[in-house]
């Protein structure tokens, strides 16, 4: 483990001397991640990207990419672009990145099943703002918007999220 690692614990995400309250997938933590299982994948995951809503916030870090009105994330295992950012119109199942709610105003992309994706192994594992404190996700890690912004501004290349397999279902 490296000092800069983001480590998921029963108390929250431990990073840079703080523990940020967070939630995980409604299916708990698993080593056998599958599309639609609602679980957060166990393992060591790199942070490979950052997306943000330029109409709602200033660019949080110089490597963040803006989310536009037609930006989507493919979650269809049959799609050639499975587990990749795509643009509308898109004929396969997908998740809209530009949402009405603030959940995806700032998104950190983890390298789960990426850059080479294996159909059905799970897509769109992000760190994003939660719906409300304690509300589970579909497999992502979620936290308060202010904590997410603080976390994002302090990230460096090669920072990793460590999700222990033994972590309980609730945080």
Instruction: Give me the sign of the Cα torsion angle 12, 100, 111, 152.
Output: negative
Cβ 149 vs Cβ 129: under 8 Å: no
Q: Which residues contact 13 (CB under 8 A, 6 or more apart)?
A: 6, 7, 19, 20, 22, 141, 143, 151, 161
C-beta neighbour count of 27 within 10 angstroms: 18
Nearest by Cα to 159 from 24, 37, 14, 31: 14
Cβ 7 vs Cβ 14: under 8 Å: yes
Cβ 125 vs Cβ 45: under 8 Å: yes
The CATH architecture that domain 6-163 belongs to is Beta Barrel (2.40)
Cβ 154 vs Cβ 129: under 8 Å: no
Q: Is 142 exposed, middle or buried (0-12, 13-18, 19+ CB in 10 A)?
A: buried
pLDDT in tens, the chain (171 residues): 777 899 999 999 999 999 999 999 999 999 999 999 999 999 999 999 999 999 999 999 999 999 999 999 999 999 999 999 999 999 999 999 999 999 999 999 999 999 999 999 999 999 999 999 999 999 999 999 999 999 999 998 779 999 999 875 555
**HSE-up of residue 5 (Cα within 13 Å, Cβ side):** 13
Q: What is the pTM of this model?
A: 0.95
Q: Looking at the DSSP assignment, which residues form a beta bridge with residue 108?
A: 50, 127
Tokens of 111: 């390298």
């Amino acid at each position: 483990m490296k000092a800069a690692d983001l480590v998921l614990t029963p108390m929250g995400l431990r990073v840079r001397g703080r523990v940020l309250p967070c939630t995980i997938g409604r299916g708990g933590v698993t080593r056998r991640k599958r599309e639609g299982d609602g679980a957060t994948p166990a393992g060591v995951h790199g942070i490979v990207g950052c997306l943000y809503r330029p109409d709602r916030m200033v660019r949080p870090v110089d490597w963040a990419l803006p989310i536009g009105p037609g930006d989507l994330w493919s979650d269809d295992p049959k799609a050639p672009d499975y587990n990749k950012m795509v643009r509308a119109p898109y004929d396969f199942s997908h998740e809209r990145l530009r949402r009405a709610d603030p959940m995806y105003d700032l998104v950190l992309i983890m390298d789960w099943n990426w850059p080479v994706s294996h159909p059905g192994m799970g897509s769109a594992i992000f760190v994003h703002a939660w719906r409300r404190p304690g509300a589970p996700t579909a497999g992502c890690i979620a936290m308060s918007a202010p904590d997410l912004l603080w976390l994002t501004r302090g990230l460096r290349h090669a920072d990793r999220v460590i999700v222990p397999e033994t972590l309980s279902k609730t945080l």
